[in-house]
Every structure is written in C-alpha cells, then in structure tokens.
Amino acid sequence: MSASSAKVSRKDNSNHDGADETSEKEQQEAIEHIDEVQNEIDRLNEQASEEILKVEQKYNKLRQPFFQKRSELIAKIPNFWVTTFVNHPQVSALLGEEDEEALHYLSRVEVTEFEDIKSGYRIDFYFDENPYFENKALSKEFNVNESGDPVSKSTEIKWKAGKDLTKRTGQTPNKAGKKRQHEEPESFFTWFTDHSDAGADELGEVIKDDIWPNPLQYYLVRISLFILASSKFILTTEDDEWYPG
C-alpha cells in the first residue's frame, strides 16, 4: 500500500469517527426531545382520563333510573337471573348442579360503581327464602386500600346445616371404595370467600362489564336456540311432507 493511499485511508477513518460522534450527539438530542414530547403525551392522557372519569360519573347517574326500571321488570320474570348465568359461557362453567338450584332463589342483582369509579364497585345478590343459607343478600365489594392496592371483601354466608356448597369435595366413592373426581366445578359460592387476587377477579369483571350492562341478551339465548330448533324441525318435516297433528 502506498503512503498516499494510507493517508487517504487514515483520513477516511478520521472522517468516519467524526461522523459517528456527530450521529451519537444527534441521537442523544433526539432521545431527549422524544422524552419531552412523551411527557406531553402522558400529560394529555392523564387529562383525558380525568375528563373520561367525569363523563362516566355523569352518565352513571343518568343510567340509574333505567337500571331501577329494568330491575322492576326483571322481577316479573321467574328465574331470570339463574337463566342468564347458566346461558353465559364463562359463568356457566363455574356452576355445579346445586349451585344452579341455589341460584333459582336469586331474585335480583345490582352492580354499583362507586362515585370515584377508579376506586371500585360492589355487586349485590338478593335472594328469596331458600334451603341453603339464611342471608337475604350477598355482596362482594372491590376497592383499593390506602397503599393503592386492589382489595375485596364480601358478606359471610350463613349456611344452613349440611348445606354449605363451598365444602363439597367434588368426589364420590365408586364401587371399589376408592374416590373418583366428579366433573362438578368448584362451587360458584366460593367466589364470595376468595380474596386472593382482587385486581384480577374474572367473575366480578364479567358480571360488571358484560352481564350487568345487558343481561337480557344472555337470558334470551335459550329462547333463541329453542326458536331455531323449532324452525329446523318445521323445515325438516315440510321437506319430508309430514306435518305433526
């Protein structure tokens, strides 16, 4: 390699190093500006959250008379709530046979979001006189503690003698005297005693955000299926040129 070419090479490397230094400086400045812009975005997001909260609070108050009217109308329909829960895919998976029996006495469900919506909500279940427990109402409440952590609390269920559904083992003896697992799920009512993860209570969120806004859509599922099945029966018999008397 000639001396001149070596000089050119060293000069090129020097220029490249200088370009790298300039590029790094520009990148650092860009990062600092991005951080400044991001802070403005975060500030606007926080402001938007406050505005959304005010709107939610306003419309929660406006919805209350309609929720009350809906509850009065639902009370005229026998087994409305147990049918709604049984028809809901996630809730039905939590229901054993005896849970369903107990829920036949469920007369009313109410969901109340606290005025500061971010602080929590409460779900109230009202029951008619039943053979399972003494309570007329069962509630579960979700809020945040002084540290800002989600917590929950609920009504203690006063079970009647031998009727505590949360103590069922889900096992029955077979002919050999051994135990085999039932396909029965853990009792729905264990939800009232489970406070292990209040920030991710799936059943509470399903009831509050999915069922409560429009329970009628789930109550009507079975009726819709019945109508569909009836329609198929009529079509089939017409195709076969046979009509039931």
Which CATH number is 222's domain given? 3.30.1120.90
What range does the domain containing 127 cover? 78-167+185-235
Q: What is the pTM of this model?
A: 0.72
Distance in angstroms (rounded) separating the CA atoms of residues 158 and 108:
19
Residue 5, domain member (yes or no): no
Residue 225, domain member (yes or no): yes
| Tokens found for residue 164 | 């505590």
Query: pLDDT tens digits for 11-24?
Result: 455 555 666 667 88
Alpha carbon distances (Å) from 146 to 14, 119, 149, 215: 60, 11, 7, 34
Is the same domain home to 211 and 114? yes
Res 180: pLDDT: 38
Res 115: pLDDT: 76
| Tokens found for residue 194 | 């489970």
| Tokens found for residue 218 | 């789930």
Res 186: pLDDT: 84
What is the DSSP secondary structure assignment for residue 136, as one 8-state letter?
S
Mean pLDDT of the chain: 83
Is the same domain home to 40 and 106? no
Is the same domain home to 45 and 96? no
Is the same domain home to 162 and 213? yes
Mean pLDDT of 41-57: 92
Is the same domain home to 50 and 151? no
Is the same domain home to 114 and 216? yes
Query: pLDDT tens digits for 22-40?
Result: 788 899 999 999 999 999 9
Confidence of residue 119 (pLDDT cuts 50, 70, 90): confident
Is the same domain home to 49 and 163? no
Between 69 and 10, the more confident residue is 69
Is the same domain home to 85 and 67? no
Strand order across the beta sheet in which 120-127 lies: 106-113, 120-127, 137-144, 150-154
Is the same domain home to 82 and 104? yes
Is the same domain home to 63 and 84? no
Is the same domain home to 46 and 159? no
Query: pLDDT tens digits for 168-212?
Result: 754 443 333 333 344 556 899 999 999 998 988 999 999 999 999
Res 138: pLDDT: 98
User: Is pLDDT above 80 for 144?
Assistant: yes
CB 96 within 8 A of CB 188: yes
